[in-house]
Amino acid sequence: MRVKSFIFIRQYRAMAMLFLSALPFLSIAAHEDQHSHSGGAPIVGGGAHFSWIIFHELKPDLEKLLQRDIDLYGKDSALGLGCNAGIKNAMQNAEDHETFGFVCCELAEKEVKDKKLQVHPLAYEPILILLNKTNPIDDLTSEQIRDIFSGKIRNWSKVGGEDKAIVVVTRLHCKGRPGHWKRILPEAKLFRKDRLNVKAADDMVRKVSDFDGAIGHIGSTWKFGKKDHIKPIKINGYAPTAKNLKAKAYPFYRTLSAVTIKSVSSDVQDLIKEVQHGRAFNRIAKKYELLPLNTNKP
C-alpha cells in the first residue's frame, strides 16, 4: 500500500511540474490571442501627450472595433515637440503605413492648407491654473491671473494672499499657433521676463510643487501624483470643468484634435470617428472634464 501511495505521489508531482512548466507558454498564448488582430500592420498614432491620453485610454475599444493593432506614441511628450511630431506622423501616412497624429493646440489655417492636413477636433480641455498647496488662495479673477503672468502683480498680498513673492512658471509651446496659453496672454513677450519657462509638463508640476509662491498652467488631462504639491484654483468663482466651459464661464482652455492628411484609409477614418462620436469617449471626457466637440462648443 505504501509503495502504491509513493508511486501515486511521484506521478502527481511529475504532472504538477509539467503543468507549471507549461504556464509561461500558456500565458504568452493567451496574451497573443488577446492583443493580436487580423488586420495587417498596426495603425500608428503619435503626438502631444494631452491628446495621447484620450487614444491611450480608448485603445482597447478601438482595437476591438477595427480588429487592428494600434501603436501609440506621445506619453509624457514635450508639448512643443508633441504637436509637431503629431503633424509629422500624420504626413507619413502611406498605403502600407497607416498613420495619424494628435495635437493639443489649434492649428492656423495657413499651416493646415500648406501641409494639406485634415483636422478632426475632439474636445476642449480646461487649462488649469496651478498654485502650490501651501498657498491659501483658491480663487482669482481672470484679470488678476493676467496681471500676475504679465508681472503687474508680483506679490501674493496684492490679491489677498500672504506677503510672499510670486514665482511665475510658464510653458509657452507652439508659439506660432493660436489658442492654448495665448488665452491667458496673447503673445510670449507679454509675460513677465523674469519667469521660469519649462520645457515639459512634468517640469511645470515639479516647479510649482517646489516653490510655495509659484503659479503655473497645465491641461486637465495631466495625471498628478501623490507627491505633487499643487492645486488647481477657480477663476472668477468657476472651477475648470466641462460644464463651466460649455457655459463660457471658465476662460482658459485649448483644443485637442486628431490630425490626418486629406486621404486616409477607412480604418483610420473609422478610428477617429469612433473617438469623436463613440460612447466610450464620454467616459474619458467625464474623467478629465473635457467638453466633447461633436455636440457643443464653449
Q: What is the mean pLDDT of residues 243-247?
A: 98
Under CATH, domain 125-246 is a member of which superfamily? Periplasmic binding protein-like II (3.40.190.10)
**Measured distance CA(127)–CA(291) in Å, rounded:** 12
The pLDDT value recorded for residue 294 is: 80
265-270 contact pairs (CB < 8 A, 24+): 265/95, 265/98, 267/39, 267/43, 267/66, 267/68, 267/98, 268/43, 268/93, 268/98, 268/99, 268/100, 270/65, 270/66
- Give the tens place of pLDDT for each residue, 283-292: 999 999 999 9
CB contact at 8 A, 79 and 48: yes
Whether pLDDT at 147 is above 50: yes
CB neighbours of 136 closer than 8 A, spacing ≥ 6?
A: 161, 162
CB contact at 8 A, 75 and 122: no
- Give the tens place of pLDDT for each residue, 54-65: 999 999 999 999
The pLDDT value recorded for residue 187 is: 96
> Using H for helix, E for strand and C for coil, what is the string for 166-181?
CEEEECCCCCCCCCHH
Tell me the three state secondary structure of residue 103: strand
**Measured distance CA(142)–CA(186) in Å, rounded:** 14
CA distances from 290 to 105, 194, 244 (A): 14, 33, 11
Average pLDDT over the chain, rounded to whole?
A: 87
Whether pLDDT at 49 is above 90: yes
Amino acid of residue 42:
P
- CATH class entry, domain 43-124+256-292: alpha beta
Grid cell, residue 195, equals 519667469
The pLDDT value recorded for residue 82 is: 87
Q: What is the mean pLDDT of residues 117-138?
A: 98
Report the percent of the chain where pLDDT is more than 70: 84
213-228 burial, b for 16+ CB within 10 Å, e for fewer? bbbbbbbbbbeeeeeb
pTM listed for this prediction: 0.83
